[in-house]
Amino acid sequence: MDQLTWRARAKINLGLDVLRKRPDGYHDLRMVMQTIDLYDEITLRVVEPGAAGADVTGDDMTGSGPVGIDVIGDSPVHVDASGDGAAIRLRVQGQDGLVTADSHNLAWRAAELLMKEFDIREGLDITLIKKIPVAAGLAGGSTDAAAVLNGVNQLFELGLGERELMERGVRIGADVPYCIMGGTALAEGIGERLTRLSPAPQAHVLLAKPPIQVSTKFVYSNLRLSDGGAQGIRHPDIDAQVQAIRDGDLYRMAELMGNVLETVTIPVFPVIGEIRAQMMRCGAVGAMMSGSGPTVFGLFDDLGKAKGAYAELSKGELASEVYLTDFYVPEKIATGM
């Protein structure tokens, strides 16, 4: 095998609680994570040593993936042929150039981490077709890193198990281990302590991202955990939500949705609350901001209602990006492998 294409799926948080700020500046969290079927496509291709730095012509890139030379143009191609053999070449298409195709890209960092550790001398071509909204609370970068770790492990037959990949993933980002695991999970610590849960009861998921940028740093630095009054911090009952998932009770699970970070974002960006309210008016069983936002998701038990809400939000002005998708159960979980 010298090439593979991977779907790197996004996540939402069904519940997000922040327990405390730690002395190292990170926060201790409790989150219920759920993979959704919105994905970036990543094609990895092994090339001869040095060839990752060579110019690529049309036929060279067609391959079995959805990638042709005509889709490369969105970002400059960045090549690192560091001289000691291994070389990575990355190109990114989609999301209007919001993601750079250089060594800051988490997909790149994931490849570099394994290629250095295992002293891989061949070159690696990575093509990333970015569909997950960027800086949106959907773990787009983390899931790309997870896919590349998985892919490099397979392509170069490194023989790393899931746990070993997760141990490496956390060096790239706190959400990467979860993205390697996928499915429904309870994430604790900074997000790296994971407990697999049974698949959440199926729901249609509507995502709407308002046309604003919210940095994760801004959200956490403005979170006042001790302020039970003014900010109205109400901690979601994560344990009860986990139980609702175990019971397969979509309505109870949705009723228990809560994200303490909304106490920071909604007063500053009321549009987040307005999208949530619109989703509920359209018949969502629950709606909430994902992660540190600004994307809002709504869960629907009825496809017709979900499509109606999709149409409403698409024609309105609250959201700049709207997607309709579902919860995703990874194959390894669905088949019990």
Residues 262-281 that bind ligand ATP (CB under 6 A): none
| Residue 11 is among the residues annotated as catalytic for this protein | yes
Answer yes or no whether residue 43 interacts with ligand ATP by CB under 6 A: no
Q: Report, in Å, the least distance between residue 191 CB and ligand ATP.
A: 8
Of 30-38, 105-113, 253-261, 328-336, the segment contacting ligand ATP by CB under 6 A is: 105-113
Answer yes or no whether residue 138 interacts with ligand ATP by CB under 6 A: yes
18 Cβ contact list (under 8 Å, min separation 6): 27, 28, 29, 220, 223, 225, 260, 261
Cβ distance to ligand ATP smaller for residue 125 or 312? 125
> DSSP letters along 150-172, please?
HHHHHHTT----HHHHHHHHTTT
Question: CA-CA distance, 305 to 302, in Å (whole number)?
Answer: 6
Cβ distance to ligand ATP smaller for residue 136 or 284? 136
Judge whether 68 and 62 are in contact, CB under 8 Å. yes
Q: Report, in Å, the least distance between residue 59 CB and ligand ATP.
A: 27
Helices vs strands, H then E, count in the chain: 12, 12
Candidate residues 140, 183, 201, 210; the one interacting with ligand ATP per rule CB under 6 A? 140
Window 283-312: contact mask with ligand ATP (x via CB under 6 A): --------xx--------------------
Place of tokens 């809002």: 296
Cβ distance to ligand ATP smaller for residue 85 or 97? 97
| Residue 305 is among the residues annotated as catalytic for this protein | no
Cβ distance to ligand ATP smaller for residue 12 or 87? 12
CA nearest 153: which of 163, 165, 142, 144? Answer: 165
Which residue blocks in 157-302 are alpha helix, DSSP H?
162-169, 176-181, 216-221, 238-246, 250-255, 262-268, 270-281
> Which spans of this chain sit near ligand ATP (rule: CB under 6 A)?
99, 104-107, 134-142, 144, 175, 216, 291-292
Active site residues: 11, 175
